[in-house]
Amino acid sequence: MAPAPITPESSGTTTPTGSTATSLTKAGIEHTQPNSNGSTESLAPLKASSMTINLTNTPRPVPAPDSAETKAQKTCTDHMITARWTASHGWEAPELKPYGAFSIMPTASVLHYATECFEGLKLYRGYDGALRFFRIGKNCQRMRKSASRIALPDFEPAELEKMILALAAQDGAKWLPKDTRAGGFLYVRPTFIATEEALGVQRPKEALLYVIMACFPDMSKSLADPAPPALKGEADGGSKSQTSGLRLLASSEDSIRAWPGGFGYAKVGANYGPSLVAQGEARARGFDQVLWLFGQESYVTEAGASNFFVVMRSKDSGKLQLITAPLGERIILEGVTRASVIDLANERLAAAPTASESGLEPVEVVERRFTMPELLEAQAEGRLIEAFAAGTAFFIAPVALIHFRGGDMEVPMDGDSGRYARCFKQWLVDIMWGNRSHEWGVVVEEKA
């Protein structure tokens, strides 16, 4: 891929691959949809400015960052935002209201046919006191793309962005206080479900978009430390000392996360339920995550719900390359973190090192297919430099080991992380928590 300049987020729909517009057309996004009479008059669009506000009378206490309640990942902030859509009217006015249960009928489409998609992003309390999102526009565009894959209605991503910002502005000050939570975050989960009550397998005529914010522990720490309980058991015979990098179990040929023509590129719930058996097995055997392979060639795709990167020295050119699986076949989720690592590498690591930026040997970014045998060969020849997973939930997570076809492949690390992973992590931390002003950091205007 040619080096991509870093462009402002909200200004358009282009992505690092420039693929959004075409894929939306392919997936059949409709801006006007037939109403019940069969005619195509335009329906009411999603409009954040028409949002109604109904604040809670029973505010709840905020759990401590490291409490059991926070670790349970089920406590949400005082409010949520919902927006209802029907095929006959389009979007109704969004509502900001107290967080709580809502009812749907047992026949609701989502409960039977997995007509659901979601997003995951974090709201950061900066070291400078400001509240920020990271490249939130990208999440909103991806939500639209995911929705189109499962026949959920279209919306303008900028309107969803405004709704998320409104919720953050409402609950941020209390749930992520300036004085005590600098360096902390809340997890934001926009969700879209088909609520139509009808068992017929058909394009839903009613849907609900909602946004909630949850208290989460810092998973970039808790993922690898402490290690899963079984770690000292069978997986390593109890002989190796515990490292802080991820231990990945490569998936077997009878367990495939995504396939060409499927929906691996979309953040739809249908991708995750079926992955839990393999993930549970990996955990029980002392591994942190599944490394999802594809095909008889054992192409490496993703690690758990994160994108996967390796740094390798090219056999042909002798140059260092940062390699990740390509998006073209649509079996890879187009991660915001993935795009950001690629953009930063192109911008800051492509040329000769300068003391001010990283001091690291330059790397060339390559988005291409690569296989496990290729990694094994590189490792044996000393050309494998490091590997890491990249995603919002687990952030940049260095990989220490990959278990593939009965054997352990150790991945080099420099102490607790590879050097490139450490560098990307620091660059992203600086943007997310406001140490370095950058257009990817979107500041939330908080309620006074």
Ligand X SMILES: *Cc1c(COP(=O)(O)O)cnc(C)c1O
DSSP-derived pairing of the beta strands 121-125 and 185-194: antiparallel
CB of 348 to ligand X, least distance (A): 19
Q: x/- binding map, residues 269-298, to ligand X, per CB under 6 A?
A: ------------------------------
Q: Which of 330, 315, 274 is nearest to 114 (CA)?
A: 274
Task: Please identify, using beta-carbon distances, which residue of 47 and 338 lies nearer to ligand X.
Answer: 338
Q: Which of 333, 349, 378, 384 binds ligand X (CB under 6 A)?
A: 333
Q: Which of 115, 307, 358, 379 binds ligand X (CB under 6 A)?
A: 307
Query: Which tokens is 90 given?
Result: 């389009």
Task: Please identify, using beta-carbon distances, which residue of 307 and 321 lies nearer to ligand X.
Answer: 307
To the nearest 10°, report the CA torsion of 281, 284, 285, 288: 80
DSSP letters, 306-334, are EEEEEEEE-TTT--EEEEE--STTS-S--
Q: Which of 63, 120, 262, 412 binds ligand X (CB under 6 A)?
A: 120
Task: Please identify, using beta-carbon distances, which residue of 4 and 104 lies nearer to ligand X.
Answer: 4
Rounded CA-CA distance 98/79 in Å is 4
DSSP 150: T
Task: Please identify, using beta-carbon distances, which residue of 251 and 307 lies nearer to ligand X.
Answer: 307
Rounded CA-CA distance 166/299 in Å is 42
In the chain, % helix, strand, coil (3-state, to 5) comes to 25, 25, 50
Is residue 305 within the footprint of ligand X (CB under 6 A)? yes
Task: Please identify, using beta-carbon distances, which residue of 215 and 339 lies nearer to ligand X.
Answer: 339
Q: Which of 278, 392, 403, 434 binds ligand X (CB under 6 A)?
A: 392
Which one-letter amino acid corresponds to residue 247? R
Is residue 135 within the footprint of ligand X (CB under 6 A)? no
From 86-94, 236-244, 328-336, 410-418, give the range in contact with ligand X by CB under 6 A.
Answer: 328-336
Task: Please identify, using beta-carbon distances, which residue of 98 and 120 lies nearer to ligand X.
Answer: 120
CB of 30 to ligand X, least distance (A): 26
Q: Which of 190, 335, 418, 441 binds ligand X (CB under 6 A)?
A: 335
Task: Please identify, using beta-carbon distances, which residue of 320 and 397 lies nearer to ligand X.
Answer: 397
Is residue 146 within the footprint of ligand X (CB under 6 A)? no
CB of 190 to ligand X, least distance (A): 12
CB of 306 to ligand X, least distance (A): 5
Q: Which of 128, 76, 130 is nearest to 101 (CA)?
A: 76
Task: Please identify, using beta-carbon distances, which residue of 43 and 341 lies nearer to ligand X.
Answer: 341
Rounded CA-CA distance 18/334 in Å is 12
Contact (CB, 8 A) for 400 and 223: no
DSSP letters, 271-287, are GTGGGHHHHHHHHHTT-
CB of 49 to ligand X, least distance (A): 27
Task: Please identify, using beta-carbon distances, which residue of 170 and 337 lies nearer to ligand X.
Answer: 337
Query: Which tokens is 435 given?
Result: 């140490």
Contact (CB, 8 A) for 348 and 427: yes
Task: Please identify, using beta-carbon distances, which residue of 75 and 306 lies nearer to ligand X.
Answer: 306
DSSP letters, 59-78, are --PPPPTTSHHHHTT--B-S
From 85-93, 145-153, 239-247, 336-344, give the range in contact with ligand X by CB under 6 A.
Answer: 336-344
Q: Which of 116, 302, 329, 374 binds ligand X (CB under 6 A)?
A: 302
Is residue 267 within the footprint of ligand X (CB under 6 A)? yes
Angle, helix 419-432 to helix 336-348, in steps of 10 degrees: 110
CB of 432 to ligand X, least distance (A): 12
CB of 146 to ligand X, least distance (A): 10
Q: How many helices (H) and strands (E) does the chain have?
A: 10, 19
Is residue 337 within the footprint of ligand X (CB under 6 A)? yes
Is residue 306 within the footprint of ligand X (CB under 6 A)? yes
DSSP letters, 283-295, are HHTT-SEEEEEET
Q: What are the residues binding ligand X (CB under 6 A)?
A: 120, 267, 302, 305-307, 333, 335-338, 391-392
